[in-house]
Chains A and B, each alone.
Chain A
C-alpha cells in the first residue's frame, strides 16, 4: 500500500509567521503535489514536483514556495502566513510521469488555521 504522511494534522499559526508543512511518501514516486481544499472550491493545485530539486507552479502558487531535496519528501512553505491561507492542505504522490493513468495517492491532510 502506498503511504503518504503529513507532519501535522492540525496547525495554528499567527499572521506573518513562516510555516512549514512536510509530506513524505514511501513508494518511490517521482511526482508529488500540494493542494489546498476549501469548501465549494474543491482541490486547487499549489505546486508540484516531478523530480528531486524540480518544481512547477500549479494554479494558485502565490504566497507559497516548495522544496524537494529528497525524492520521498516534499515541503510546502508559507513565507509569511496570512489569514486567507487558512485551509486544509493535502499532499499527494503519483508514479511514472510517462504513464497517462497517473492516479494520485493522498495524505490525511493538515488543517492550518492562521490567526
Chain B
C-alpha cells in the first residue's frame, strides 16, 4: 500500500539540531526524497537517498534510512531561522510502468531565535 506518514509540527531553538521523521509502508520504494517548502513557494528538492543506502550526509543535512522499519529521518544540524519551512518526505514507486512520487503530509518546522 501507499501511505507516508509524518508528524505535523516540530519546534526547535536556533542552533539546536532538528530531526524530522517519516514512515512509509511500501517496501518496493527505490528512492526516497526530502523536499522543503518555504512560505508561499513550491517544493524544492533538498536531498534524496537510494533504498540500498543507510545514510547520506550533505553539509548540515543527514538522512538516515532504516529499511527494516521503513523509517526515514532528516537531521538538520545547527538549525537556523531560515530553515523554518514545511518538510515533505516522498517515496518513488513504479506504478504500471510509470514512476510516481507519494508524499507525506509534511512537517512544519518552526525555528525560534
Contact B45 A103 (CB under 8 A): yes
The answer for the CA separation of A100 and B92 in the assembled complex, in Å, is 8
Contacts of B42 in A (CB 8 A): 4, 90, 106-109
Contacts of B99 in A (CB 8 A): 31, 94, 97, 99-100, 102
Please tell me the size bucket of the interface on B: 20 to 34
Please tell me the size bucket of the interface on A: 20 to 34
Contact B41 A109 (CB under 8 A): yes
Contact A108 B33 (CB under 8 A): no
Query: A43 interface residue, CB < 8 Å from B?
Result: yes
The answer for the CA separation of A112 and B40 in the assembled complex, in Å, is 13
Kindly report which residue of chain A lies nearest to residue B94, judged by CB atoms.
A100
Contact A42 B88 (CB under 8 A): yes
Query: B44 interface residue, CB < 8 Å from A?
Result: yes
Q: Knowing A42-B106, A90-B43 touch, does A103 contact B48 (C-beta < 8 A)?
A: yes
Contacts of B50 in A (CB 8 A): 101
Contact B44 A42 (CB under 8 A): no
Other-chain residue from A42, A56, A104 in contact with B98 (beta carbon distance below 8 A)? A56
Contacts of B48 in A (CB 8 A): 101, 103
Contact B33 A106 (CB under 8 A): no
The answer for the CA separation of A35 and B35 in the assembled complex, in Å, is 15
Contact B45 A45 (CB under 8 A): no
Contacts of B98 in A (CB 8 A): 31, 48, 50, 56, 97
